[in-house]
Amino acid sequence: MGSATNPGQWIEVSDGRIRFMALQSEHAPHLLGLKMYGGTYNKNLENLPRRAGGWREGQTLSYLIDFLDQRDGSIAYRLYYQDAASTPPLGFPPPFTGPNDQHRVDLALLCVANYDEVDHYPTAIVAHLQPRRVALIHWEDFFSRLPDDPQDLQPVPLLNIGKFVKRLAPALPQDADYVLPTPGSWIEVAP
């Protein structure tokens, strides 16, 4: 995995059309500075845990994902994925010096849940990435069933999405925007 100061290893998939780099990150505390489900497993599990308390955090990662142009191998589209708020600079991609690594983040998928448990989130990661668009993810109440009507979706308990947006908006580059998709919705993206 990479870090804010050191590049990690690019992993190529799909016959070299996609590559990704895992980035060292962390999971924000869940409530009032307390983090649940810490720890790791020392051996493979024989069965998946049936309750939330059976899962262990392990090493939280963020990802930089590049979709490559097949003609010349350049980056056609860059995606950043972070599904847990983290303390800066955890989750930050490293500075890239190689010409094949230079590309602005086209779409940053950023976690909304527990943003208020971390100082300078999401402002620091947005300032670092300078994305063209941000999609707000991990905001819906995943402890309840999805309703038939997306308008009936509820956020994670105690989550104030409006306050998150008030933090996010001033940090966005002037040519950037954000979307708040519902589970199962489509977002149109273009290189």
Is residue 81 one of the residues assigned to a domain? yes
Query: Could you count the other beta carbons within 10 Å of the beta carbon of residue 56?
Result: 12
Task: Report, as an integer, the average pLDDT of 111-120.
Answer: 93
User: pTM for the complete prediction?
Assistant: 0.89
Structural domain contains residue 191: no
112: pLDDT strictly greater than 90: yes
Condensed to tens digits (0 to 9), the pLDDT of residues 16-35 reads 899 999 999 998 877 777 78
Q: What is the pLDDT of residues 33-80, one digit of tens each?
A: 778 788 888 899 999 998 888 888 888 999 999 999 988 889 999 999
Pairing assessment for the beta strands 133-137 and 177-179 based on DSSP bridges:
parallel
**Which phi and psi (to 5°) does residue 87 adopt?**
-75, 125
What is the domain count for the chain? 1
Predicted confidence (pLDDT) at residue 191 exceeds the cutoff of 70: no
| 132 within some domain | yes
Q: Which has the closest alpha carbon to 126: 93, 97, 98?
A: 93
Query: CB–CB of 111/83 below 8 Å?
Result: yes
**pLDDT attached to residue 20:** 97
Q: Minimal CA–CA distance to 115: which of 155, 153, 167, 63?
A: 167
Residues 6 or more apart whose CB falls under 8 angstroms from that of 142 comprise 156
Q: Is residue 142 situated within a structural domain?
A: yes
In a domain, 43, yes or no: no
pLDDT the model gives residue 51? 86
For residues 157 and 177, what is the distance between their CA atoms, to the nearest angstrom?
Answer: 26
What is the extent of the structural domain holding 129?
11-31+54-179
> In this structure, is residue 39 part of a structural domain?
no
Residue 27 CB neighbours (<10 A): 23
